[in-house]
Structure 1
Amino acid sequence: MNSVERASEILDVKLDTLSEFSEIDPFNLDNKLTGVICRQSDYRYGALVIFRVNDEECEQIIYGTPKLHYPFNKKGEFRWPDISQIEIWDKLDGSNVLAFFYSHNGTFYLTYKTRLSPILKDGIYGGFLSMWREMLDLNEWIKLASISNPEYNLSFELYGYRNEITIKYRISLDVKLLFGIRRFDHVVRPPSQLFAIKDLHLPKKYVVSDSSDLQDTYLSLQSEMTGINEKVDQPIVEGIVMYAFCNEPSWRLFKCKALDIQKLHWASGGISIHELWTTALNSFENGIQDIDYFIDLLREEYTNEQIERSLSKVKRVYQDAFHHNEFIMRVNKMYFEAKKEGFDVSKNKAETFRFMSKFFDKKEMRKVGSIILKGENL
């Protein structure tokens, strides 16, 4: 039995939802992690089965941030479970980062990952590793939160205009703790159920009456958020997350998006250009991927019928994203050469761009400048 087959047995998922990996842990550089990552669109989303650490057998499961679902079906019919307690928190629009522990030879190591990557690293579209290191340096509470909750992997959101997805944040970069996933059984707990530490940064929490009708609350908050976005040129609120305690060990998570944001997601039964582009960027997070991988990611959110209906757009957006990806790689490569020659855009912008203009057409230089300045946080 190979590693993918074994992971399929452990996680009880189909083989085609699994991919092998072998990566050096950037936060524990002596450790090489080898295993399988899962793309099953439920509590196993992004889960790892680590088979070896430093080529020594060390089988263990790492549960990640689960997929969030709407509390209604495709027809818009609400389907609420029997809920005894509800908590409502702001939904942030950024990149999810999971803090998790793994063990080797009796020692536990703390590291971090994005949803569909086994470790944290800098990609073409996002310097996730660099940005996260920056946040760790500025926020001692992040590591302390994990150490204070050793039974849990912790889910964080890295957001701001330096990591822009849809929402136009004014803040450059920030991080909030979302919730915990219990390591041994993937039980989800909201931040109120975790061990609190000083200076813990959390999303905004909404106060609602226990006697409020859930559907009325959902629609009222959705209307409120939609109204906020209608008053500005660019959306500034994405939505909320409802944590529901259903007299089970794990809290259930439901998402509610402002109507304007939700419409970007559901475009006349097909898939909007905006959502295709966002997914395409995600598919290239860890380097160039083929169109089959892109379509696999789409299947996590959309039906085969929706994908078929939008197939021409899917192919077109993939090609656009592919060429965009190649262009960014080319810019980054030449800027690396520029820095080797002594140029630094933060110190001599004009001279740096003059050097870069030797390798790009005049009409491309505005885009080149934007990529470089964003990468340097300028």
Structure 2
Amino acid sequence: YLTYKLRLAPVLRNSKWGAFLDMWQELLKKHPTIPQLVEKNNCHLSFEMYGGRNTHLIVYEEELAVAALFGVRADASVVPPAQLDLLGVPSAALVGQLVAGEDPVAKYAEIRAEMEHRNHPTEEDKISGIEGTVWYVEEPNARVSMWKCKPESVEAIHWATGINKKAVLATCWNFLETADDLNYDTLLPLLLEEYQRDDIENFREHVEACISQVRYEFEFKERVLAAYDGLGLSIHMDKAGVMRALSQHFQRPEMKKVFTLIIRNR
């Protein structure tokens, strides 16, 4: 049997927070060789499903895409994407390659600076650009270990002193990939992976505010898409007509966000 799972759940399914199963099935149709990859490479594979329709911290230009990240053999050893036969399935883009004698610290700093140059904050507490890279390091025993390299703007969110709003928001969206009931108690186990319980409790008021913000963003998105679908018009064919009609349902300051949501999801 061949199965697919999310990072924190044993099955891939739709939820009220996202059509994760539908999106994956769409990608399987686009890349029909994905089901062959486990047998072809004799290992499990990890993929990233990303894009504007599955936004978390990073706002991507693509609506929906997939990239193979690495394989894992039965002995838990890692197989980097360059050593996988992917049968045409996209993999994470190769940023560079180091050989013995090169300065890894200097290269690390160079890549971080290049990524940071590409990153820009958005109006929705997200980042437009790139989240980071992964270094696949081959050790003397031929086993491969993975190391993250994140640009400063992303690293600042994850490594800020103490718990912070952007990190909690990102954790909320990650939680919703695998569960529907987003509240303080259900989010707590994920937060405890990064922070001390006392720090979380002291920040509880802000955690609750983040949960409310994520819920509002989801409900606003659903309201926008329902209103758009009810028009019977295509924003790609009649942008002015669609936006004029939707302006009867949303306030003027919301219209830019309305347009962005429709373009990303329709």
SS at match of 1:212: coil
SS at match of 1:271: coil
Contact 2:52 2:59 in 1 (8 A): yes
- Equivalent-residue separation in structure 1 for 2:7 and 2:233 (angstroms): 32
CA deviations 1:86-113 (Å, max 9, x no partner) are xxxxxxxxxxxxxxxxxxxxxxx11211
**Pairwise CA distance, 1:251:** 2.1
**Pairwise CA distance, 1:158:** 1.2
**Pairwise CA distance, 1:191:** 1.7
Contact 2:37 2:87 in 1 (8 A): no
Map of 1:27 onto structure 2: none
- Equivalent-residue separation in structure 2 for 1:119 and 1:335 (angstroms): 28
CA deviations 1:38-63 (Å, max 9, x no partner) are xxxxxxxxxxxxxxxxxxxxxxxxxx
**Pairwise CA distance, 1:126:** 2.3
- State how 1:209-288 maps to structure 2 within 5 Å: 209-229=99-119, 235-248=128-141, 250-267=143-160, 269-285=161-177, 286-288=179-181
Q: Which amino acid aligns with 2:53?
A: R
- Equivalent-residue separation in structure 1 for 2:114 and 2:253 (angstroms): 42
Contact 1:229 1:236 in 2 (8 A): yes
- State how 1:112-191 maps to structure 2 within 5 Å: 112-149=4-41, 151-182=42-73, 184-191=74-81
Any gaps of 5 or more consecutive residues in structure 1? 1-108
Map of 1:291 onto structure 2: 184
- Equivalent-residue separation in structure 2 for 1:193 and 1:203 (angstroms): 12
State the Cα RMSD in Å.
3.7
Q: Normalised by the size of structure 1, how large is the TM-score?
A: 0.56
Q: Which amino acid aligns with 1:187?
A: S
Among 190, 193, 197, the residue aligned to 2:83? 193
- Equivalent-residue separation in structure 2 for 1:129 and 1:344 (angstroms): 27
**Pairwise CA distance, 1:354:** 8.0
Q: Which amino acid aligns with 2:146?
A: L
- Equivalent-residue separation in structure 2 for 1:248 and 1:242 (angstroms): 17
**Pairwise CA distance, 1:284:** 2.9
SS at match of 2:119: helix
Give the length in aligned residue pairs: 254
Any gaps of 5 or more consecutive residues in structure 2? none
For the pair 1:315 / 2:216, whether they are aligned, the reply is no
SS at match of 1:158: strand
- Equivalent-residue separation in structure 1 for 2:263 and 2:16 (angstroms): 12
Which is strand-richer, 1 or 2? 1
Among 186, 189, 194, the residue aligned to 1:301? 194
SS at match of 2:58: coil
Contact 2:98 2:104 in 1 (8 A): no
**Pairwise CA distance, 1:227:** 2.5
**Pairwise CA distance, 1:231:** 11
In 2 relative to 1, CA 249–117 (structure 1 residues): closer, same or farther, beyond 3 Å? farther
In 2 relative to 1, CA 225–246 (structure 1 residues): closer, same or farther, beyond 3 Å? same
SS at match of 1:300: coil
Contact 1:270 1:310 in 2 (8 A): no
Q: Normalised by the size of structure 2, how large is the TM-score?
A: 0.77
Q: Which amino acid aligns with 1:256?
A: C
Contact 2:52 2:62 in 1 (8 A): yes
For the pair 1:373 / 2:254, whether they are aligned, the reply is no
**Pairwise CA distance, 1:114:** 1.2
CA deviations 1:154-191 (Å, max 9, x no partner) are 10111122222233322222111110112x33222212
**Pairwise CA distance, 1:247:** 3.9
Q: Which has the larger radius of gyration?
A: 1
- Equivalent-residue separation in structure 2 for 1:345 and 1:261 (angstroms): 40
CA deviations 1:295-345 (Å, max 9, x no partner) are 1111223344543453332232224334555x369749x949x98xxx564
